[in-house]
A and B are shown apart, each in its own frame.
Chain A
Amino acid sequence: MPRRNHEPKQPKIGQGQLSLSLKLETTDRNRRNVDADDFFFAAEKWLRALKIFAKEQGEHVKWEIVDLRKSSALVEVQPVKVKSGKPAPQLVRKWEQGLKKIEDTGKPDPKFTPESLSALHDFVFSIPTNTVASFGNGAASERHKVTPMTQRRIEQALAAFPPEPRKEYVAQGSLRGLLAVLDSWNPDERSFRLKLPMAPAKPVKCTYRDASLTADLGESFEGMVEITGQLRYRPEQPWPFAADVERITTLPRKPKVSLKDLVGLVRLPEGQDSVSYVRSLRDAE
């Protein structure tokens, strides 16, 4: 009897009824069975990617399990139109073609929208460690592994989409700068401008409600202060454009303690220097 190197052929689902499969294998030789948590976690991400792909293609389908085996751990699904109950093989073909193009070129394929590609990206980067996942289309010979190259190509394709416009956002924090100009004493709209050392041409409009915040500043006008409160950022901009101030701290005009004054104030444990100390801290986290 001839020796077979490949897996046994899958039972045919029927003419035109293409399916897609996910197979997980463990790389641990001592434990051949795939962890159930790993399998369901990856399968859930994979199914989510398929659902989003179908939705973005305008197909109203459900995914039916047509094969489920323990041999490693394999699940095979096919899309079935919800309305007619008939299979939707064209969806499988589009998935296969789009995925192949992305894997070959690292460029986005029109069949994958940013949303469906993002779901695919989420799946390939959530494959549990010590596990090998394979994509398939129902035919065992056409199954192929998700490799670091697959991940890279999908990441490249996703990066090729122009970033979605993002909105302004708010973060609690503090900011240091020169308290330059008091704009308004209007009780309903008290504000001043803070000139940032790293962005002197773009002063931050700081609004505040509590009049005592500036009443006590005295000499701090035109000196360095630290404001604390809600900072308003525009996308991609490192410094906020506005702030709702809750507290103002006056900073000394001249350095009171310089770097030289810090020399030798702390003794690290024997045998550690600053680099190994910091590494041990961070590796322990």
Chain B
Amino acid sequence: MKLVRLTAIARKEVLQIWRDPRSLMLALLMPAMQMLLFGYGVNLDVDHLPTCTFDREGSQGSQALMKRFQASHYFEITRVVGSYAALKAAVDDGTCKLAIVVPPDFSAMLVAAGSSSVQAIVDATDQNTATLALGYAQAVVGTFANDVAVEWAELHGRAQPTQSVSVDSRVWFNEQLESRNFIIPGVVALIMALVGAQLTSLTIAREWERGTMELLVSTPVKPMELMIGKLVPYFAIGLLDAAFCLVFAIAWFDVPFRGSYVTLFLTTSLFLVVILGIGYLISVAIRSQVGASQIALLLTMLPTTLLSGFAFPIDQMPAVIRAITYLVYGRYYVTILKSVFLKGSGLTDLLLPVAALSVYAAAIAFLAARAFRKTLD
């Protein structure tokens, strides 16, 4: 392997990327776009859920309960209606996701029987939001009921009716329970997969398509020099994009970063070897740019989005799918990213995913080094 040839290839590749608006956009604009898209677009939290109330009693007690909903940041009462028809309309047209109905005998029952009930109607087209909304609504009503019971006991000079057991919870790693903190680190993997594989999938296919391969094969350049010379610029772009994502995540989205930059750099390099290797293999196998970029999307972006646990928790997948995720290299990197960002894990904590990623990188590099043969046969 000769450094002169390697640099000649790398230099040429940089010039070509620089003059190709498509590649340049992919390398420089895509990361920012993806970050904004996922940072703002994918939000699994329930916050200020538009809520509709139908208070059929209109008493002091029922209003007190409504105030509890108003006070909670999970809900925002956007509409107060006076009939079931209006309530139905509000839920049907999607302006309200949750409706709370207080029965006309709410306070009376509370006084007479010591218990009462309110009705919650939830739009469950998005089951995740619906489940969370119901849970929060139950919590609001539960604390209200508890307070009412305490008040009642004090008023009647009796001891508190129940010794309630409560959970004193501490949330670790993602203290605000913000889904953004959980999603953003994984987006880094997504961007690496997208940009890295897309760009490299074009690199050999382009030479075939434009006819420059014919001349290149006639020169003494070695397949190894060609591969490394071509991948080095993309490796640099990948690291640059990763650094950009890191700054964006920390400075813009306030995602906590508790790990070390060295750990992140090493594991990102490992992941890039896998991604660039796959892109290169595709480019060698498929001699058209369009075909190669399609296949690259299928083999990198898709599994990294769906099966890496970046947004969709692997624990909740069926056993068969869960087994398949072990083959998805993105899974290991996403695990590493989340741990490094939120837990501050070091390499020793991440031995297993790092080892898995290393095996993957070694296998891909081995295949890629043998993939390209200098012949037109």
Our verdict on whether A and B bind, yes or no, reads no
Residues of chain A touching chain B, judged by Cβ–Cβ distance below 8 Å, are none
